[in-house]
């Protein structure tokens, strides 16, 4: 697994962005950038260079699910892996995210172990597909 992957962390709470950033750092991923909602994230993604997106769902401006849909609907970005890290835990929402093409779904509050597990699973799939 390439530890130099460039990861975009999207969450409206700066503390959560720091926590995710630290956890990713502990797992060896230090090449990260942050955005506080989908609207901020979108031009950053459009500019290119990102290999992975970790996003919250409920954010002002543009939500994580809309960001996910925008990514899947964009020719350049549609293959980008997206991990949803959210407090939204309703069955319908998990199904909606799955239908929109999410690659992993983590419910807050979460642990470092869960984050590692989901990342490993996503990378395994991508490596198997490659």
Partner 1 sequence: MAAVVVNINARSAEREAAPSIPDRAEYVNRLREILSALEADDQALFESRLNQLMRLREDGLFVNLAKLTRELHQAVKDLNFDERLQELAGSEIPDACVRLDYVVKMGEDAAHKTLDVCDDSRALVDRLNGCIGTLDTLRERLPTVAPLPIKGLTLANDIERVEQTMREIGGQLRSNFSTIAQAQEYQDLSGQVIRRVIALVHNIEGALIKLLMATNEGVRGPSAASAVTAGELAGPTVPGLGSGGQSQQDADSLLAELGF
* H or E segment to which residue 11 belongs: none
Q: Which of 87, 83, 32 is nearest to 53 (CA)?
A: 83
Tell me the two tokens of residue 80. Answer: 């980008």
Answer yes or no whether residue 31 interacts with partner 1 by CB under 8 A: no
Question: 121: which residues sit within 8 A by CB, 6+ positions away?
Answer: 104
Q: Does 110 bind partner 1 (CB under 8 A)?
A: yes
108 is an interface residue for partner 1 by CB under 8 A: yes
Among 42, 54, 57, 119, binds partner 1 (CB under 8 A): 57
- x/- mask, partner 1, residues 58-97, rule CB under 8 A, reads x----------------------------xxxxx-xxx--
Cα of 38 vs its chain's centroid, Å: 11
Using the minimum distance from each CB to partner 1, give the nearer residue, 15 or 43: 15
- CB 49 → partner 1: shortest distance, Å? 25
Question: What CA–CA distance (Å, rounded) separates 108 from 83?
Answer: 13
Which strands form 82-86's sheet, in the order they lie side by side?
32-35, 7-10, 52-55, 82-86, 104-107
Residue number, 4 or 90, with CB nearest to partner 1: 90
Positions in the binding site for partner 1 (CB under 8 A): 13-15, 18-19, 22, 57-58, 87-91, 93-95, 98, 105-108, 110, 114
């Amino acid at each position: 697994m390439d530890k130099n992957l460039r990861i975009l962390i999207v969450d409206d709470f700066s503390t959560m962005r720091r926590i995710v950033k630290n956890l990713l750092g502990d797992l060896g991923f230090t090449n990260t950038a942050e955005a506080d909602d989908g609207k901020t994230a979108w031009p950053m993604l459009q500019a290119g260079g990102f290999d992975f997106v970790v996003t919250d769902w409920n954010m002002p401006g543009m939500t994580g699910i809309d960001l996910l849909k925008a990514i899947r609907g964009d020719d350049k970005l549609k293959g980008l892996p997206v991990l949803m890290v959210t407090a939204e835990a309703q069955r319908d929402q998990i199904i909606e995210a799955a239908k929109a093409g999410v690659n992993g779904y983590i419910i807050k509050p979460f642990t470092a172990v869960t984050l590692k597990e989901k990342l490993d699973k996503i990378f395994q799939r991508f490596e198997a597909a490659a």
